[in-house]
């Protein structure tokens, strides 16, 4: 999205806009701020696919009754190291934060802890929650069921699986944690949409047509299914992430999973799983961090492939983007700008751009 | 390996052979039996790449002093829900079982538990340990650092990463757990070795040459690196699995990782991480199993792609193979048969084939 035809907005202005709109449609002030911070961090990190581009659908779902603006997140069952959290059909960004906070709290005396969630919604980036734990010197794990089914089982031709994302974050002495955050398809469906609009073919390993066989025709691909990474490996991976995210809590899985964009009047009963491993229960924190320093040096110092300037750690590009966007503003495409401006006008809140 | 030019051996005969050889080279009887059962289960499940094809190198490493036959596995640090286990440079198959037993024991009162391991060795299939937990109605997680570095960081041209495997197993009402067990490359290096021997090209997404750029030349690929699934996704994934497996325990990572086959006189300081989530701490077991039944039905019942007879669950083909091999015998290739027969003769133990 970093082309010259777009607008720029400050973090503060975007945060104020989102927070105020959420308040106007019934979200309590504290919750609105918390959810908006989470949402905007995706844009700061350059993960625009999970940032304010989704804001209009979150608003629509609240207006249509599909998401509860006044959710009371509660614990329905727990032991000292496990819990099931009911999100009361609230914004996933808020529910996820509350659940990960509970996991971190349960681990504060050195236990590992896992919290399963039901009655939630699309929660943005999985990395956000894993990084919450990493900032507390815990390895953080975050799993979610996708909010739309786009994938067929291996050998199948029916979308009964989501492209389920997960994240694992590690504390480091760098200014950012190392964080894996991935969904299980080779390419995001958004890239296929772009190719179809432009009338271009897609690589043969991105998608199948509706018959379940690989296609390079982007239009056929949109009627079909995204292909998982590594073929049957990615099928097993997305299935495992989906089961982790739903089976312990009773969130929807398989055919029960609705469509974030289509069924805006119905609760999604989304599921997540959050886990934390406190480093200092396993070894002295400094010993762990020394090892991380050495491992990071091995990765960064590896001989580079032809034409490569620098080897990045997972999460490093996102951190560099965050630093840059905090300083220079967050880029927003022209079409999205118009969409957000219309929302601002409707609710009488400000939406001030830098340029 | 299921071609007609190979031999067949019963599970009992193969188990007796492995156990007796390990005893002859100094492994205590109970440990030899436990490690051999683990090893042979890979062949039963049709995962021959991790079965007795590796037995000669395990034997050689003990003989050369690289692996300790009389290892005393011990707990070096623990809390009620975490532990670090020192494998005393024993057979990874044995160390892994002891560590997962400890995790299961710690979870017996309903806690989730994680056990990190150092001073271990190649532990066979990751699935074996995850399934131990699933049989106790716990979700089992198993991570390991690879025993050879075959992968470069994304953008790199130096093997500082292993193709690190991991497994997640889920209790079911089926006769087998659903189990994801994957390493992080698109294709196993063994397939590239076969192509190189046959003078055939390989697909463009399997490997890079020594310059870090993709190649279809299998010979060049063997001088280079395997390509991770989903490109940068698989790089982040193998890095995360590697860090999980080593950083909590101080096992070797990065440049310190030796070579299972080359450095047979040196300890590998291999690392693993095992985790368990007891289902009944989150929900009643029957409620969970009901949901799993429904989810399994959704997957199996999905419309099939053209030409596909049946959709399998992860771990199902391996279970069917196990049932078949238990009944009909385990296939062993001719070259491997000769290798094992030579070991049998050297140690004066029997190696009886069905055919």
DSSP secondary structure, B27-52, as one string: --HHHHHHHHHHHHHHHHTT-GGGTG
Cβ proximity of B27 and B109 under 8 Å: no
Relative to beta strand B82-86, strand B113-120 is parallel
Residue B90 predicted with pLDDT over 90: yes
In this predicted structure, the answer to whether residue B5 has a pLDDT above a threshold of 80 is no
Mean pLDDT for B147-172 is 96
Does residue B4 carry a pLDDT above 80? no
Instruction: Tell me what pLDDT residue A2 has.
Output: 44
Chain B positions touching A181 (Cβ under 8 A) are: 236
Q: How confident is the model at residue A314 (pLDDT cuts 50, 70, 90)?
A: very high
Query: Which H or E run contains B120?
Result: strand B113-120
Tokens of B242: 């590697």
Q: Find the CB nearest B110 among A79, A303, A306.
A: A79
Enter the tokens of residue B65.
């002093």
What pLDDT digit, counting tens, does each position of B338-351 carry?
Answer: 999 999 999 999 99
- Report the residue of B233, B272, B307 to disrupt the A interface, i.e. the one with the largest count of A CBs within 10 Å: B233
Unique residue bearing structure tokens 């047979």: B264
pLDDT digits (tens, 9 = 90+) for A175-193: 999 999 999 999 888 889 8
Q: Which of B248, B287, B310 to mutate to test the interface with A (most CBs of A within 10 A)?
A: B248
ipTM value, please give it: 0.97
Chain B's closest residue to A185, CA to CA, is B230
- Crossing angle between the packed helical segments B127-134 and B92-106, to the nearest 10 degrees: 30
Q: How far is CA A162 from CA A271, B260, B290, B340, in A?
A: 12, 38, 20, 46
Rounded CA-CA distance A329/A314 in Å is: 23
* Candidate from A331-335, B176-180, B295-299 with smallest mean pLDDT: A331-335
Q: Which of residues 32-61 of B touch A (CB under 8 A)?
A: none
Confidence of residue A1 (pLDDT cuts 50, 70, 90): very low
- B residues 318-347 near A, CB within 8 Å? none
Helices (H), chain B: 11-24, 29-44, 55-64, 92-106, 127-134, 189-198, 218-223, 232-246, 279-282, 285-300, 316-328, 334-347
Per CB-CB distance under 8 Å, the chain B contacts of A235 are 314
How does residue B190 score in pLDDT terms, banded at 50, 70 and 90?
Answer: confident
Listed by number, the residues of chain A in 238-277 with a beta carbon closer than 8 Å to a beta carbon of chain B are 239-240, 243-244, 246-250, 253-255, 275, 277
Query: Does B336 score more than 50 pLDDT?
Result: yes
The dihedral built from the CA positions of residue B25, B31, B36 and B39, taken in this order, carries a sign that is negative
Which domains does chain B show, CATH number per domain?
Answer: 1-64+328-355 (1.10.1530.10), 70-185+231-278 (3.30.1370.60), 186-227 (3.30.60.50)
Mean pLDDT of A85-103: 98
Residue B193: what pLDDT?
A: 86
Residue numbers of B between 113 and 152 with CB closer than 8 Å to A: 113-114, 116, 139, 152
Provide the greatest CA pair distance for chain A.
Answer: 57
Looking at per-residue pLDDT, the higher value among B180 and B212 belongs to B180
pLDDT band of residue A247 (cuts 50, 70, 90) is very high
Spacing of C-alpha B26 from chain mean position: 24
Per-residue confidence (pLDDT) for residue B3, from 0 to 100: 46
Which residue is associated with the tokens 């004066």?
B348
DSSP one-letter code for A65: T
A326: number of CA atoms within 13 Å, CB side? 9
> CB B15: neighbour CB atoms within 10 A?
17
Q: Mean pLDDT in chain A?
A: 96
Which residues is B331 bridged to in the sheet?
Answer: B8
Residues of B in contact with A139 (CB under 8 A): 244, 248
Cβ–Cβ < 8 Å for B73, B92: no
The reported pLDDT for the residue numbered A278 is 98
What's the pLDDT at A189? 85
Distance from CA of B330 to the nearest CA of A (A): 24
- Cβ contact A163:A227 at 8 Å: no
Across the interface, of A79, A234, A249, the residue whose CB is closest to B229 is A234
First to last CA, chain B: 15
Write down the pLDDT at residue A44. Answer: 98
Q: Which residue of A has its CA nearest to B161?
A: A299
Structure confidence at residue A3 as a pLDDT band (50, 70, 90): very low
Name every chain B residue with its beta carbon within 8 A of the beta carbon of A224.
none
* Overall average pLDDT of the A312-337 stretch: 96
Judged by CB atoms closer than 8 Å, whether chains meet at A298 and B255 is answered as: yes
Residues A47 and B310: their CA atoms lie apart, in Å, by: 38
Report, as an integer, the average pLDDT of A124-132: 98
Are B111 and B278 within 8 A, CB to CB?
yes
Residue A287 in contact with residue A297, Cβ under 8 Å? no
CB contact under 8 A, B157 and A305: yes
Reduced to 3 states, what is the DSSP secondary structure of residue B143? strand
pLDDT at B2 over 80: no
For residue A80, the chain B residues in CB contact (below 8 A) are 111
Q: Nearest Cβ partner of A314 from B156, B211, B236?
A: B236
- H/E stretch holding B168 reads strand B166-170
At A7-16, the pLDDT tens digits run: 999 999 999 9
What tokens appear for A277 in the block?
A: 């491993």
pLDDT tens digit string along B11-66?
Answer: 999 999 999 999 999 999 999 999 999 999 999 999 998 999 999 999 999 999 99
Instruction: Tell whether the model's pLDDT for residue A4 goes beyond 70.
Output: no
A36 Cα to chain B: minimum distance (Å): 27
Q: In whole angstroms, give the CA distance from residue B37 to residue B14.
A: 9
- Interval A147-164 mean pLDDT: 95
pLDDT mean across residues, chain B: 96
Please, what is the Cα angle at B227 between B224 and B233, to 5 degrees? 145
| Token pair belonging to A332 | 């927003």
SS3 of A228, please? strand
Across the interface, of B113, B155, B299, the residue whose CB is closest to A311 is B155
Query: In chain A, which among 162-181 make CB contacts under 8 A with chain B?
Result: 168, 170, 178, 180-181
């Amino acid at each position: 999205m970093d082309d010259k035809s777009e607008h720029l907005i400050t973090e503060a202005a975007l945060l104020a806009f989102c927070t105020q709109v959420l308040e106007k449609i019934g979200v309590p002030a504290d919750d609105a701020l918390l959810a908006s911070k989470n949402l905007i961090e995706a844009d700061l990190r350059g993960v625009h696919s999970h940032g304010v581009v989704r804001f209009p659908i979150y608003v629509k779902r609240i207006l249509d009754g599909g998401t509860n603006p006044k959710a009371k997140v509660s614990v329905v069952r727990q032991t000292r190291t496990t819990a099931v959290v009911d999100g009361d059909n609230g914004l996933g960004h808020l529910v996820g934060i509350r659940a990960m906070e509970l996991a971190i709290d349960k681990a504060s005396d050195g236990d590992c802890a896992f919290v399963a969630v039901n009655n939630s919604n699309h929660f943005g980036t999985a990395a956000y929650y894993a990084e919450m734990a990493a900032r507390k010197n815990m390895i953080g794990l975050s799993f979610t069921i996708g909010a739309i089914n786009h994938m067929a089982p291996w050998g199948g031709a029916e979308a009964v699986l989501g492209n389920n994302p997960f994240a694992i974050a590690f504390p480091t002495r760098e200014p950012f944690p190392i964080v894996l955050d991935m969904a299980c398809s080779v390419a995001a469906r958004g890239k296929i949409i772009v190719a179809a609009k432009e009338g271009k073919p897609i690589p043969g390993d991105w998608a199948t047509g509706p018959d379940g066989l690989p296609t390079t025709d982007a239009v056929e691909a949109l009627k079909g299914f995204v292909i998982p990474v590594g073929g049957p490996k990615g099928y097993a991976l997305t299935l495992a992430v989906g089961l982790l995210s739903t089976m312990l809590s009773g969130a929807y899985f398989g055919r029960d999973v609705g469509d974030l964009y289509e069924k805006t009047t119905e609760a999604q009963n989304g599921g997540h799983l959050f886990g934390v491993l406190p480093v200092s229960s396993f070894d002295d924190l400094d010993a762990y961090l020394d090892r991380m320093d050495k491992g990071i040096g091995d990765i960064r110092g590896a001989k580079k492939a032809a034409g490569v300037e620098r080897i990045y750690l997972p999460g490093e590009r996102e951190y560099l983007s965050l630093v840059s966007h905090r300083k220079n503003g967050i880029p927003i495409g022209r079409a999205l700008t118009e969409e957000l401006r219309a929302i601002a006008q409707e609710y009488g809140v400000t939406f001030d751009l830098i340029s």
